[in-house]
Structure 1
Amino acid sequence: MSVAALAGVELTGGDLRLGAVRERTPAYTSYDVTFASTTAGEGSNPLRISGVLNVPTGPEPQGDQGWPAVVLAHGYIDPSSYVRGQGMTRERGFLAERGFVALHVDYRNHAESSDDPRIETAVRLGYASDVIAAAKALQDSTDVRVDPGRVGLFGRSMGGGVMLKALAIEPDLFAAGVGWASVSSLEAENFDQFQRPDAPAAELEAGFRGRHGLPGEDPEFWRGVSSRPVFGDITAPVLLAHGRYDDTCPPPWARASQRALTAAGVDSTLEWYDDGHAFGPAFVAAMERTVRFLRNRMPA
């Protein structure tokens, strides 16, 4: 149960199915979609993952080349209240208006996606499997013509951590990675920031007993489910964007991740904005920078 172990598994994805039209604008059409993703158990049936897909309006790309595409990995929202497509609606629309197919992934255990009972035990490693499956579903689709060599991955907050893991697990799949207001690339730090303050120590220990220890008890496990130790496997360029006033994901996390990426030989950039975790005033500037980065790394 680690990022490295998941990299040794043949992860599947495909069977992208377009459902109801959610929205039509002059720039794009938005669809409810589902696709297949790998399960945790060997020999099990694939999970069905839901999501929302924006397809640009206008003539399709000519010749063999399809649309550039971006898979979106949203941040943490309580699965019990989460609804399809929640968390990156602004980003999805912005990208589609600029000529990118944009696929928002709901993740397993969210919205209309299948449930995976092991998701918490595996510290949500399955979310990385789901965004990988989304990219493969886009590449294989006959309904939406996507250029297989121009698929990027864009995650925010928790999704930024998902993005880094997915790039390490499938180094040749994504042409570029973007992380906004990302969580730490060390899962022990995320545990201390988000889980430890919300429950008494005895309750946390009881919840993890029989699976793995807390970070202080089982550091090897927590490093294994982190992306930083395997940054050397990442081949795609990475853009990180972070608010100077982020009080959810501390700015030092972004600096540490970017330095570790660079030390591992990854082409990485960290952009700072005078904003908090939600990217309000800086949203347009950060998105314009993101689009320039994606276009440079996924040229027509």
Structure 2
Amino acid sequence: MRRWVPVVLLALLGTACSGAEEPGSAPTPPPATSPTTSPSASQSPAAVPHPVSLPALAQKAFDGRGLRLGEEVARTSRQRQYAVTWRSGDLTVSGRLAVPEGPGPFPAVVLAHGYIDPAVYVNGQGMTRERAWFGEHGYVALHVDYRGHAGSDPDASGGLDMRLGYTEDVVNAVLALRAWDGPVDDERVALVGRSMGGGVVYNALVVKPGLVDAAVVFAPVSSDAVDNFERWIRPDPGRGGAARRILSRYGEPSAQPAFWQGISARTYFDDITEPVLIHHGSSDDSCPIRWSRATTRLMEQAGVDVTMRTYVGEEHAFGPQFELSMQRTGRFLARHLS
């Protein structure tokens, strides 16, 4: 694996499986007319991208650190789970950590969960099945709560950073996990995301090549930010305030395509260097399977080593075929975390 170099990532646009209206507003960013002057997200610092964009975040240094174990919250004969915190820039972020029994070192995964209203979200919610599966199968698994969730510090952006901070927290989780003195093999680390978290993973891959060795996503949001805005934010009367703030700040997609392209991972698929596995159910009525088909096609065109697995009749949350999807995930990671 290539060792990481300091760059930053972007979280995908808030959606019904990845976002909800949030109060307040962020400081007005300086104007910009285009997301970047080149097709690469990790562009030269000489270029001046829009401050809310993948290229802008790719120029930001990360400093994930200070992973601390809190109380033990679960135990089996094969793993223990702990409440944890770490530092993400100026913020403290909370999460859950599964640690297999034994001396290690173990391969590791960082888990990016899907949208759950922060007002009701509790520590470690959203990927409990996946975290337990990884712990039982010999992986250290760090579940990220994101800023504004559970015991994490608040999200001060008011939602107008298009949730870029969520991905910042995930990237810093990878760095904090590697810096931890626990039984982690830092040469074998992957990202795993579900729904909104799949969008976080996509963006992490395009702006931080070499951060991890592989990535897996389940029922992910679209890699086009416009799809997500039009699917959940604009048509929802309960999110009218959020839609108005976003459009007032950044403009309509048809009028300001450069901005919306600059926050869409697919614009920068050429930058991805890691293998990707996509799981999607044919009956997903939240994140349509056509989004993953389009993402797979565009990744293939960009030269990405991508595999898509389709689950006939499976819905968004994965029920009857969850175990099959995890077995496939295990085989995929065994090949690439070596």
**Cα distance in structure 2, aligned partners of 1:8 and 1:264:** 22
1:146 maps to 184
Query: Does residue 6 in structure 1 map to residue 57 in structure 2?
Result: yes
Q: Aligned in 2, Cα 1:244/1:202: closer, same or farther, shift over 3 Å?
A: closer
Alpha-carbon distance, 1:206 to partner: 3.3
* TM-score scaled by length of structure 1: 0.92
Per mean C-alpha deviation after superposition, the further-off stretch among 199-208 and 110-119 is 199-208
1:228 alignment partner in structure 2: 266
Q: Greater CA deviation, 122-131 or 178-187?
A: 122-131
How far 1:160 moved relative to its partner?
Answer: 0.3
Pick closer, same or farther for the CA change 1:294–1:202 going to 2, 3 Å: closer
Corresponding position of 2:108: 69
> Which one of the candidate residues 174, 177, 180 is aligned to 2:212?
174
Query: Residue 284 of structure 1 aligns to which amino acid in structure 2?
Result: E
Preserved CA contact (<8 Å) 1:119 1:126? no
TM-aligned CA distance change 1:209 to 1:289, over 3 Å: closer
Q: Deviations over 1:127-159 (max 9, x none)?
A: 1111110110110001x1211111100000000
Q: CA deviation at 1:207?
A: 2.0
CA-based RMSD of the aligned residues comes to 1.5
Which one-letter code corresponds to 1:126 in the other structure? Answer: G
Give the alignment of 1:53-202 within 5 angstroms.
53-58=97-102, 60-61=103-104, 66-118=105-157, 120-142=159-181, 144-199=182-237
- Aligned partner of 1:41 in structure 2 is none
Partner of 1:43: none
Equivalent residue letter for 1:195: I
3-state SS of the aligned residue for 1:197? coil
Counterpart CA distance in 2 for 1:151 and 1:270 is: 21
CA offset at residue 205 of structure 1?
Answer: 5.5
Q: Choose 161-170 or 69-78, whichever is displaced more.
A: 161-170
Name the structure 1 match of 2:41: none
CA contact (8 A) 2:84 2:94 kept: yes
Percent sequence identity over aligned pairs? 49
Unmatched 5+ residue regions in structure 2? 1-51
Rounded Cα–Cα distance in structure 1 between residues aligned with 2:220 and 2:257 = 22
Secondary structure of 2:151's aligned partner = coil
Structure 2 counterpart SS, 1:149: strand
CA distance in 1, matches of 2:250, 2:176: 33
State the shift of 1:202 in Å.
7.0
Aligned residues: 286
Q: Which runs of 4+ in 1 moved over 3 A?
A: 200-206
Q: Structure 2: which amino acid aligns with 1:162?
A: V
Q: Unpaired runs of 5+ in structure 1?
A: 39-45
The 3-state SS of whatever aligns with 2:177 is helix
Q: Which residue of 2 aligns with 1:30?
A: 81
Q: CA deviation at 1:79?
A: 0.7
Q: Please, which moves more after superposition, 79-88 or 192-201? A: 192-201
Residue 15 of structure 1 is matched in structure 2 by 66
1:47 to 76, 87, 91: 91
Structure 2 distance, partners of 1:87, 1:161, is 15
Q: Post-superposition shift, 1:203?
A: 4.5
SS at the partner of 2:234?
Answer: helix
Question: Which of structures 1 and 2 has the larger relative contact order (alpha carbons within 8 angstroms, sep 6+)?
Answer: 2
Summarize the Cα distance change of 1:49–1:205 in structure 2 as closer, same or farther, 3 Å threshold.
closer
Q: Normalization by structure 2: what TM-score?
A: 0.82
Alpha-carbon contact 1:4-1:230 (below 8 Å) kept? no
**Structure 1 residues 83 and 202: alpha-carbon distance in aligned structure 2, compared to 1, 3 A threshold:** closer
Q: Specify the code of the residue in structure 1 equivalent to 2:304.
A: V
Structure 2 counterpart of 1:193, one-letter code? R
Distance apart, 1:204 and its partner CA: 5.4
1:157–1:182 CA contact under 8 A, matched in 2: yes
